[in-house]
């Protein structure tokens, strides 16, 4: 069955426009509560990032859940992976994150975690959508839920993160720049790295409700690159607004993206005979990752774009490591969802144990030039179905002649067509990408 409200990562949109309205958020909380009240603890956690609309949506969700008889635990600003972790440790029925991840402040979203800290199963999302179509009915007073704030949530998660650097290791002697994107890691990540011994320079840690992801963080690494060079730091780490993505910068100011981070983690696991199976990437993963893993005799498989699909393929193959070039990194030996802080600690662990710099460790992977162009399209149009667009794509693929890849897809979270072309020569690849994007734009 197709979903009416849930996308690849929950419900997302512009604040004030359906479905990101207080009315819908309350109804969604109630509908989720109705489904979840049929099982388990009748307890749900709510966390959020730092965007100003989080207050509005948190209150609306809380009211809906309580009306359905669910007890609510409020975590305040908290990274998405922290909510997944705390949902498990509190033995809650579900966790809810109010966040639009890497999007601008005027967007927001609502996504759910199951009791085991993973994305909700399809059948539960469909059950919630069914309840959304029903009239909202409040439980009788004696059956209403209660709300409670968890004051030590940040401290619990900080200790969890720190546990992923082996006890015999320390970050002492390392100078690290941390960019928190004015997002949910602002009060978490600096403490983690300082307490593990690093000399930490912090940027992007002054959220005001509207500066989340604004020219900083994992989607805009220019400030981090500049600061690493100015501070003569060993490396830099950037998270996105909700902390589930990570990008890194080596001491030369070069960006190390999600593909390279996955490569480093897999390479270290292979060297220590700890790698189970192979690595899962996505259709967007750079061909250079596949070739570098092949050199190490590590199997590689591609899933659809989206961390939930990476997770599905990992489970299907019983593998442990996967990720996306955007910075979602999964290692099921460490945690149950993409976690930017834990992924960066895995890279640091690999560096210290191998006595290598970040630049040296990533050197074994050569990325092919890959150009991504985003094209906005009007809802209701289907530009990829137009004959002219299909013709241009076919022409580009013929001209690449097996020396590259073309991938065209709709974004799962925004009204965008993503045009990706990959090949040996960047100038040629860019021309191809812009040629296809122009055809898509005309068809939109």
Q: Per the annotation, where are the binding residues for Mg(2+)? A: 101, 240, 242, 244
**Residue numbers annotated as active site:** 101
Beta carbons of 308 and 8 less than 8 angstroms apart: yes
Beta carbons of 230 and 177 less than 8 angstroms apart: no
For residue 6, being part of any structural domain is answered with: no
Q: What is the C-alpha separation between 191 and 182, in angstroms, rounded?
A: 15
Does 15 share its domain with 144? yes
pLDDT mean over 181-186: 98
Does 139 share its domain with 30? yes
For residue 346, being part of any structural domain is answered with: no
Does 118 share its domain with 182? no
Listed residues 252, 285, 316: the one ending a domain:
252
Does 20 share its domain with 129? yes
CATH number (domain holding residue 428): 3.30.310.50
**Residue 382 confidence (pLDDT) above 90:** no
pLDDT mean over 240-244: 97
Beta carbons of 131 and 31 less than 8 angstroms apart: yes
Strands 416-422 and 370-376: antiparallel
Q: Nearest 5 degrees, angle CA 348-CA 212-CA 76?
A: 85
- Quick one: pLDDT band at residue 2, thresholds 50, 70, 90? low
- Quick one: pLDDT band at residue 322, thresholds 50, 70, 90? very high
Beta carbons of 428 and 400 less than 8 angstroms apart: no
Centre a 10 Å sphere on the Cβ of residue 390 and count the other Cβ atoms it contains: 14
Does 315 share its domain with 375? no
Does 124 share its domain with 169? no
For residue 331, being part of any structural domain is answered with: yes
Domain hosting 403: range is 370-443
Does 208 share its domain with 280? no
Does 145 share its domain with 171? no
**Residue 146 confidence (pLDDT) above 60:** yes
Centre a 10 Å sphere on the Cβ of residue 287 and count the other Cβ atoms it contains: 18
Helix/strand/coil for 387: helix
pLDDT mean over 393-397: 96
Does 129 share its domain with 180? no
The whole-number pLDDT of residue 254 equals: 98
The whole-number pLDDT of residue 59 equals: 98
The whole-number pLDDT of residue 414 equals: 79
Helices (H), 220-306: 222-231, 258-271, 287-295
For residue 161, being part of any structural domain is answered with: yes
For residue 298, being part of any structural domain is answered with: yes
Task: At 196, give phi and psi (nearest 5°).
Answer: -90, 0
Strands 175-179 and 235-239: parallel
- Quick one: pLDDT band at residue 381, thresholds 50, 70, 90? confident
For residue 5, being part of any structural domain is answered with: no
Does 242 share its domain with 315? no
Does 229 share its domain with 260? no
Cis bond upstream, residue 19 (ω within 30): yes
Q: What is the C-alpha separation between 271 and 149, in angstroms, rounded?
A: 44
What long-range pairs does 131-136 form, CB within 8 A, spacing at least 24? 131/30, 131/31, 131/32, 131/34, 131/35, 132/4, 132/5, 132/27, 132/28, 132/31, 134/31, 134/34, 136/26, 136/27, 136/30, 136/64, 136/67
Nearest residue to 111 via CA among 90, 132, 97: 97
Q: What is the C-alpha separation between 226 and 237, in angstroms, rounded?
A: 12
Per DSSP, 133 falls in state T
The whole-number pLDDT of residue 348 equals: 98
Does 386 share its domain with 438? yes
Q: Nearest 5 degrees, angle CA 144-CA 145-CA 147?
A: 140
Nearest residue to 200 via CA among 175, 164, 181: 175
For residue 188, being part of any structural domain is answered with: yes
pLDDT, tens digit, for every residue of 204-220? 999 999 999 999 999 99
Q: Distance of CA 311 to CAs 2, 117, 323, 330, Å?
A: 20, 12, 9, 8
Q: Which residues pair with 148 in a beta bridge?
A: 73
Listed residues 151, 183, 207: the one ending a domain:
151
pLDDT, tens digit, for every residue of 252-299? 999 999 999 999 999 999 999 999 999 999 998 998 999 999 999 999
What does the H/E/C string look like for 283-340?
A: CCCCHHHHHHHHHCCCCEEEECCCHHHHHHHHHHHCCCEEECCCCEEEECCCCCCCCH
The whole-number pLDDT of residue 1 equals: 53
Q: Per the annotation, where are the binding residues? A: 101, 240, 242, 244
For residue 424, being part of any structural domain is answered with: yes
**Residue 305 confidence (pLDDT) above 90:** no
pLDDT mean over 369-394: 90
Helix/strand/coil for 444: coil
pLDDT mean over 138-144: 96
Listed residues 151, 179, 201: the one ending a domain:
151
CATH number (domain holding residue 199): 3.40.120.10
Q: What is the C-alpha separation between 437 and 427, in angstroms, rounded?
A: 15
Number of residues written out for the chain: 444
pLDDT, tens digit, for every residue of 408-442? 988 877 789 999 999 989 999 999 999 999 999 98
* Average pLDDT, rounded, for the chain: 95
The whole-number pLDDT of residue 415 equals: 84
| Structural domains in the chain (count) | 4
């Amino acid at each position: 069955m197709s979903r009416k409200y849930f996308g690849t990562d929950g419900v997302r949109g512009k604040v004030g426009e359906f479905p990101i309205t207080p009315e819908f958020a309350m109804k969604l909380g109630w509908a989720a509560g109705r489904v979840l009240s049929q099982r388990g603890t009748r307890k749900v956690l709510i966390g959020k990032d730092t965007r100003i609309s989080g207050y509005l949506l948190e209150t609306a969700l809380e009211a809906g859940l309580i009306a359905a008889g669910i007890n609510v635990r409020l975590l305040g600003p908290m990274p998405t992976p922290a909510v997944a972790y705390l949902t498990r440790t509190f033995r809650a029925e579900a966790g809810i994150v109010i966040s639009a991840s890497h999007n601008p402040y005027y967007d927001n979203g609502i996504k759910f975690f199951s009791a085991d800290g993973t994305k909700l199963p399809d059948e539960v999302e469909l059950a919630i959508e069914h309840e959304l179509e029903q009239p909202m009915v409040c439980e009788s007073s004696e059956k209403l839920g209660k709300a409670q704030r968890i004051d030590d949530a940040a401290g619990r998660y900080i200790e969890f993160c720190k546990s992923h650097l082996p006890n015999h290791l320390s970050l002492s002697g390392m100078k690290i720049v941390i960019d928190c994107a004015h997002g949910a890691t602002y009060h978490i990540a600096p403490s983690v790295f300082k307490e593990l011994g690093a000399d930490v320079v912090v940027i992007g840690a002054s959220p005001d409700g509207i500066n989340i992801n604004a020219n900083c963080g994992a989607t805009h690494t220019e400030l981090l690159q500049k600061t690493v060079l100015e501070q003569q730091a060993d490396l830099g780490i950037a998270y996105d607004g909700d902390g589930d993505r990570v990008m890194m910068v080596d001491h030369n100011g070069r960006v190390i993206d999600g593909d390279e981070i996955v490569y480093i983690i897999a390479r270290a696991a292979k060297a220590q005979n700890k790698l189970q199976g192979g690595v899962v990437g996505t259709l967007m993963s750079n061909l250079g990752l596949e070739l570098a893993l092949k050199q190490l005799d590590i199997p590689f498989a591609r899933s659809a774009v989206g961390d939930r699909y990476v997770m599905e393929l990992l489970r299907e193959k019983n593998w442990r490591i996967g990720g996306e070039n955007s910075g979602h990194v999964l290692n099921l030996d460490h945690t149950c969802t993409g976690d930017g802080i834990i992924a960066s600690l895995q890279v640091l662990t690999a560096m210290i144990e191998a006595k290598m710099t970040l630049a040296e460790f990533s050197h074994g992977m050569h990325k092919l030039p890959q150009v991504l162009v985003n094209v906005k399209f009007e809802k209701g149009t289907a530009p990829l179905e137009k004959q002219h667009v299909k013709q241009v794509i076919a022409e580009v693929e013929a001209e690449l002649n097996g020396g590259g890849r073309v991938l065209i897809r709709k974004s799962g979270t925004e009204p965008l067509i993503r045009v990706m072309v990959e090949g040996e020569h960047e100038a040629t690849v860019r021309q191809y990408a812009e040629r296809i994007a122009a055809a898509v734009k005309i068809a939109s």
